[in-house]
Structure 1
């Protein structure tokens, strides 16, 4: 056992005895003899912030991650003490702070230990860097599991591993590469079936060690900034993720078309190529809503310009594509070409908007256009200017979405592939070096882009996509997982990354389907499409340097499989939109790893492949070549095979057949899944009826379906439709009640029930207490047509 004295000799310093305590409403300040301050704030009964200052100083409190609209409020807060501890009690937690060391133990109200400090807060004064290296170590327990941290391309359970958070341009990253594009310093611990979360809100390069160095210790540290972390108690993992998402912010609803299929490549040009791609989608009847233009649409890679040779009349082209249902999305990078004749460069130069080196000159680095300067998006004035630059692109030409790339920030031909540490940033009036601003640079760029797109696409809703992100980025932007590779290993990585991003508050995420670097086989592309249609953001993207990667680029069999699964996604659009509504209002992740779905079942703690799509559909992708099926774990409960409607008991491993044109999918009993007809793009057809797949259960189960005008902001004025269904199944009857909220009139007036798994023969049906003519029942498929505003239907055997 290392003693504190030995550690102190190594340069570590520790808080000693508490000499003073004061309380200001929800915040308690504990000051020690050696002038360490612990500021403890109760935000909710289960969310507590721990912030430590040394030399008696707390820095000015500022965070890009915390949502300013985060609603806080707790039911109970009391301070007491005994011989050894100061005790803070809320309605859900008991926090014991050791009088001689500030070390903390956190218990639930029954006295179960949830989390405790090992050495707790300690620090090292760094005279070379200035400021402190701040450290926190926590005791870990046998069997404790760890999840989260954003886009890490590793096994879902992080135990036994160490990671850093430093946004990095990681072209063709691999299964263990760390760090990569995103910095999400938030993790979930699961101990004795109780979940808690820790969010270390520090933008410096933070490191997390999950029992790698020492088997019973989890620690995190950063070479600057404050030890400032939020402790979030469940005990359900769902409560941890929801509370973290409330804290760092929820997105607004995107337009429905952004949940459709998107096609991208580096690069589609000239106009005739773009038009040809669009025509082929429509000719082959493969649904698609978005076409992306990569850097070659610009004039010499200058942002906010068009190459007039390739695109002589972008406004006309964008309109013609839109007439055929294709929304145009363009790329915008942060690097602004140094060119005195280029208006964007001139404006930024004149106003001093570029990031500067410590000695004064603008930061210069090479990116696609050659030598570039880089706007300081941490300056609110620069963000406002940047937002204004979208006036022509979005407001006049009619582009519907923007993707921000290279915003780690990525710089070529330098060792760290990014800015040097001495670059200066405004940080919203808290001037700092790049060491502090690096991890938020991409998010602040996406935020400025979002403000611009939102302003000029109005009254429609914006779409922004980013490669680099810090906690809270989900308020402004969706994301993708960066430059992956066309390999089977990367299909495994893709599945893990999107599940992990969903646990980390960033559900609106997808991967480059098929792989960005290199070329997939037809089989790999087919299996990737099958997974990708279940990811919230669904886009094919490739570097195009090894061949094409459109759905028809392989052979007829692969084309047919791609069409089948893209069509399947379009039928699930009301289900996806409802998932997004729950994410945007409640912070519920759109995909749920099995451990989130059922943390009580120890079998789920190490499962990576299977996940829950929305609330009721279990998907298990095929991630190995030449497979005719696979072994998988079916979570506890009862399920129907989506393809065969076979009824199965869960909580076990089983073999599932899944030839090249199939993916294992199971629907939970009692689920009501809304479906639309196949459309070639969102809004192509008027929806004449809503189909509900009703999976019988001998139980009582709630479901909901959210709809609105699919774009625009009328839904904020109450013009939405939220159908709440209650299914009650008994041995010889099934009742479904509907209660509708909101005042949006859906265009259909019929709901078609598709009854699956009824254990009895239907003898009579009553709709709102009126007998239903059984001759109107489709005997084969058990389709039942009802008015959309029915209140209750009883199906009696």
Structure 2
């Protein structure tokens, strides 16, 4: 084994420090923000991947050819202190102190709590990096402390705390996966949050790589090295970002900002989306599709969209992207318009692989659009029940060809969205080559790059086809930065109670990793049909997720639909109505996600890091910072025990009962009402209109859960037409609701801002019916007051 290289500072250019060790090894340290420092270690001195597609600080996108890794635009590049001695270098900002040992470049990270510096991370004291010692892979070993907990890494199976586990980030299609044990899964998010229990502080590490990689979070032990955790990537560079806390919320928000502004998708994307493979696989597909609309009408199920499965492209049971099966759909334009006439938008499935007998395969091959083998032929991969070749999205001609096909095969028919599916790019050979935007390289070195470029190309096509409107896309697979383009979900889950429980944890891990416009296939996708109780409980949870879609491919050929069990259909209908009542709140959370980089869903410790119990494994979920969802994940239960985080008090949404935080309570959990709590001092924007299928309406109102004693409530809520482009820094509509509480009265003011106006019928405020204080409105407004079954309704008239 070679000795450790000894490093010297060779250049200091503003916020980039360059060090060299033994004439071959180069390290760049970038001071990007007060709480954000980057380390790029290059054992051979050269960058292997000079471009990044993940880093877009506060930006909507990056060029399709990628962003130069040395580009520091978008960062504030703050002032910092630098010192060096014979043994070490020290880089200090107001939030982070990085100490580097010159012998071996071992790093120690400290963060500031008040006037005190606390060590939060240290490289392993024995061989923390690969200075060309072992192989061509990229390694980073860190010392592991007993008081550490690890969260994130995207949608990982199992418990929320990743401590003691090992995970492989290698995008695959594990249909029917176990949400408790299966690894790897669909997405590539090499980022995690460390929580230091003793110091009550957090930090994040993001490894900017698109290579298959592994995170070992303490599952491996080696007596010679002490306790450690590590990251290893098969290819690329060691280019990592240290994100200071102090709380997990700070880390997640910074990482989301770092990897790009989340897409502000249209409001209709938050509505119920129907889907099943069975309809489009049927020989009478259009007739079956019309049955869905009839089912929604018959049972009065509110619906905004339908995920059109790939059977619409089939020939003899195989899928041929961009090909309409005219036997199943003789007139696609009329079919699309029929759905639009019922207020339902279609989101068609598209796949990035052309089967070898695809009608356009020869055309694409002649144009050189495929990922190629060593002889320059299309590299064949297994895809569905055939072999085919993936489109090479790093080839500008292929990228543009894809955009043209999205347009002429889908958008020109009246479709306004795309469902980007089967886009894991499962290439298992090291031989296939990609264009690499003129710099040819092996496809295996950055498979998720094609996923990102596929959804980027689809989005560009949609934006060009409907300028002025916000595109809507779904993608199953993805990588860091995918939030800039799409809504996503946890893939083809298995139908079971266990899946329901662990899908909750998967979704929260993904939200902590910057991606929270997400959901699950409600009821389970693969396996047996869900029994009525499981289906109902899954719907009860699903109505609170940003993506709410019931989608299935059941073993017995049945279809998961809202009306699949007549005995519970009324409950399902009312739960979907609850969803639509809450859409203004979800829409405002989407806007905050877009503008403030705050996750829409989150674990309780995100908002209550000072309560140690919130870090224990649980099945609870915060929707924004105001709503606590306690889903039932066990059969036969008619109540739910839930721990209420300390630091807040809580109202039962249904009964109005009031609970102090820091205690366990048992809530009723009947089939018609999911356990639901709202934080004291919260205001929720609601849609109070009576709604029916194909007759959606909107009437803004607000549910108020006031401070029990004296206190002020002042909040703003986004409002627009739901689909037009919006400048985050421009003028838009808002509601401002202000309530000042005293022991005897509530002083209320509802102020429309921008394009919003109070209607002549007024604005309703719903208080828990137990609220008995006098309500007074601002000068010039009239108040009416009435007690209902659940709410005390106060109407503010202009």
TM-score (norm 1): 0.91
> Is 1:165 equivalent to 2:169 in the alignment?
yes
Aligned counterpart in structure 2 of residue 61 of structure 1, from 50, 53, 76:
50
Q: Per-residue displacement from partner, 1:237-285 (whole Å, max 9, x unpaired)?
A: 1111111011111222111111000111113231111111111102211
Confirm or deny: 8 A CA contact 1:271 1:310 kept in the other structure: yes
Asked if the contact 1:689/1:748 (under 8 Å) is kept, the reply is: no
Residue 218 (1) aligns with residue 207 (2): no
Alignment of 1:67-106 (within 5 A): 67=56, 70=59, 71-82=74-85, 84-106=87-109
Q: How far 1:739 moved relative to its partner?
A: 5.7
1:436-472 CA-to-partner distances (Å, cap 9, x unmatched) read 1223332222222222222224443222111111111
How far is the alpha carbon of 1:352 from its aligned partner? 0.6
Match of 2:664 in 1: 653
Q: Please give the residue correspondences for 1:727-742 in structure 2 after superposition, counting only pairs within 5 Å.
A: 727-737=739-749, 741-742=753-754
Partners of 1:323 and 1:395 lie apart in 2 by 17
State the partner residue of 1:111: 117
1:474 matched residue in structure 2: 483
Match of 2:627 among 599, 602, 617: 617
SS in 1 for 2:538: helix
Q: Does 1:32 align with 2:21?
A: yes
Is the contact made by 1:76 and 1:89 (CA closer than 8 Å) also made in structure 2?
Answer: no
2 CA distance for matches of 1:679 and 1:166?
47
- Give me the CA root mean square deviation: 2.4
Gaps of 5+ in 1: 1-7, 411-417, 789-797
For the structure 1 residues 92 and 701, does the alpha-carbon distance in structure 2 shift closer, same or farther, using more than 3 Å as the test?
Answer: farther
Residue 506 (structure 1) aligned with residue 501 (structure 2):
no
Post-superposition Cα deviations, 1:407-439, rounded to whole Å, max 9, x if no partner, equal 1124xxxxxxx4422111233444321221223
Deviating more after overlay: 29-38 vs 516-525: 29-38
Give 1:715 shift.
Answer: 5.7
The aligned counterpart of 1:532 is 542
Greater mean alpha carbon deviation, residues 293-302 or residues 363-372: 363-372
User: 1: CA distance between counterparts of 2:244 and 2:630?
Assistant: 30
1:140 to 127, 130, 144: 144
Residues 437/727 of structure 1: CA separation in 2 closer, same or farther (3 Å cut): same
Measured after TM superposition, the shift of residue 405 of structure 1 is 1.6
Aligned to 1:233: 244
Q: 1:359 to 1:25 in 2, by over 3 A?
A: same
Shift of the 746–181 alpha-carbon distance from structure 1 to 2, 3 Å rule, reads farther
SS in structure 2 at match of 1:512 = strand
Find the counterpart in structure 1 of residue 70 from structure 2.
none
Deviation at 1:720, TM superposition (A): 2.2
Residues in 2 aligned to 1:55 and 1:555: alpha-carbon distance in whole angstroms: 63
Cα displacement (A) at 1:378? 2.5
How many residues in Structure 1 have an aligned counterpart in Structure 2?
761
CA shift at 1:749, angstroms?
6.5
Q: d(CA) in 1 for partners of 2:227 and 2:729?
A: 52
Tell me if 1:357 matches 2:373: yes
Alignment of 1:498-577 (within 5 A): 498-518=507-527, 519-577=529-587
Aligned to 1:585, the other structure's residue is in SS state helix
For 2:335, which of 317, 323, 332 is the aligned residue? 317
Quickly say closer, same or farther: Cα 1:770–1:23, change in 2 above 3 A. Answer: same
Per the TM alignment, residue 734 of structure 1 is displaced from its structure 2 partner at its CA by 2.6
SS at match of 2:214: strand
Query: Unmatched 5+ residue regions in structure 2?
Result: 60-73
**Residues in 2 aligned to 1:680 and 1:233: alpha-carbon distance in whole angstroms:** 46
Q: Deviations over 1:146-174 (max 9, x none)?
A: 00011111100111111110001111111
User: Take 2:80 and 2:729, find their aligned partners in 1: how far apart are those partners?
Assistant: 37
**C-alpha displacement of 1:40:** 0.5
Q: How does 1:183-194 map to 2 (within 5 A)?
A: 183-191=188-196, 192-194=199-201
Question: Aligned ranges for residues 301-700 of structure 1 at < 5 Å?
Answer: 301-339=319-357, 342=359, 344-368=360-384, 370-410=386-426, 418-518=427-527, 519-636=529-646, 637-677=648-688, 684-698=695-709, 699-700=711-712
Question: What do residues 678-705 of structure 1 show as CA deviations (whole Å, max 9, x unaligned)?
Answer: 5657993443443443433433344321
Secondary structure (helix, strand or coil) at the match of 2:277 reads: coil
> 1:572 aligns to what SS in structure 2?
helix
Q: 1:126 to 1:480 in 2, by over 3 A?
A: farther
CA contact 1:267–1:295 (8 Å) conserved in 2: no
**Relative to structure 2, which stretch is displaced further, 324-333 or 207-216?**
207-216
Q: 1:510 to 1:686 in 2, by over 3 A?
A: closer
1:556 is paired with a residue whose SS is coil
Distance 2:151 2:516 in 1: 15
Q: Which digits, 9 at most, give the CA deviation of each residue in 1:304-338, with x for residues without a partner?
A: 12111111111011111111111111101111133
